[in-house]
Structure 1
Amino acid sequence: MSNALSSWKSRVKAKIDKGESFESIKKGEPMLDEAEFQIFKERLDSDDAKAWTEWGRQMHELNLGAHHLGSGGYRGKIPIWEKEDEELARAGKPNPWLKITDLQVRYFVPRYTLDRKTMEFVTEHDDVRKFEEKLNEQLAKADLPEAESSSQGSTEPWDTPFNRALNILKERPVSKPPTSAGRVCGFEMPTYVVYKGRVPGVYEEWQDCLEQVHKFSGNSYKGYATREEAVAQWRAHVGKKKNRLKFLVPLLLTATAVVLYFTLV
């Protein structure tokens, strides 16, 4: 069975969790053979798989609301949102998204829908409404109306009303760096250039991740103080790969000249 698309794994796992037999699963997955099914099932029963499943469940619980972006992402929805803005303007209704920052718009707009009867944005998710309340409280405390500047005198760039409100709802200390469910620390280009492999683990604190990365042997990862240094090093690394065969160019030219000479003679 092809592993090019791994969506079959989640489908089969869901059916296994429901207690379905191989024969029953085979009807919906005709390309799945029994040997592969047994191997997959054994892996699901391993301690490693159970630990990752639990981690995924915890990450899912950290998500606030469910967006309706679809496969096109933000860019795919922009024409629809622009049309909604025009409809609000024609109806003489205020547009709440014009009063907040880009970061807040990217969070709220995908989680709200426009009610065509009332011409107001609504959401079905209680946690999204709670987050909006907490954000308004943090904005009021920081005395920064709809701003994303650093909060409450902090010099840390991430310590904003938006991230404080997120931390409150996720029951984390308010001044901690933001966390996104499913994001694994250690893959960020501004800090590390990745040559090969990956960081095997998930780290709540940036410092824990940093220490773990430095324990790796070899040159799988290398730290840089600035994004510019990292990008320059990455480009140089890629450039070396491209230039490895440059020494063959003179040989190829010579060989071509010899062939042409004997062809003409």
Structure 2
Amino acid sequence: MVDTRSAEPRAMDLTRPAAARIYDSFLGGSHNFGVDREVVERIGGELPGIGESYWENRAFLRRAVEFMLAHGVRQFLDLGSGIPTIGPVHEIARRRTREFRVVYVENEPLTVAHSRPLLAAEPNATIIHDDLRAPDSVLRTSQVRQFLDLDRPIGLLMSAVLHFVPDTDRPAELVEAYRDALAPGSHLLISHLTDSHDPAAMQVLTGFYMESSDPMHPRGTSVVEKFFGDFEQVPPGPALLSDWRPEPGARDRPTYALLHGGVARKP
């Protein structure tokens, strides 16, 4: 059963940094502003090497999407996608096949505006302005219905986004609503900031994001793992992202152990 709640439209705010643009700045992208770069510089000053964690999440996304592609998934719904640049899902998919579809979902209006020109020449990918906290709206929008066949397996991507959903918005119920809507054979990716391993660094990072339009809500690893419900875990199961199916010769873990996640399959 799809959750029918709605979410209030998000207003454009250029006076404060936004999570999508902070991420883009840490990855070396150009779709960010001075207010975003200023907080990125301050975060790096307090947490030297923190940029590794943003790249760690991007590398995990790539490995997980490649795993899904290798197991026949050709459709992807990327919730809270941010700006689809610097290794986005459609570029990962295109390296393996021309038969793919990607729908990016973002609630930050300026991020959507930046993203549309980037996707203009990509017929197999699009972005919609919607909020993951409104699963019924997301799943029933005409663009999702046109691009994706919900009766066939989908790769549902929740990459570094659920920690922006406060407990008051019932994130476990939201994820359950999406899980229930997926066809058998679908895969669910979750990566999430956790305070289980490096609470001091997590507290510093959370403090900086309190200044942004997107305050963080890190959670313990046991809470994150419950978001997968009864889906079958892809080995090795939920782990620090650097430990999830690392490539041969992969470098050591990043400086801070902040991201936990994995991939699971709907039976």
Same fold (TM over 0.5): no
Tell me the TM-score normalised to structure 1 length. 0.26
Q: Which has the higher helix share?
A: 1
Greater share of strand = 2
Q: Which has the larger radius of gyration?
A: 1
Q: Please give the TM-score of this superposition, normalised by the length of structure 2.
A: 0.26
Q: Relative CO higher for 1 or 2, CA cutoff 8 Å, sep ≥ 6? A: 2
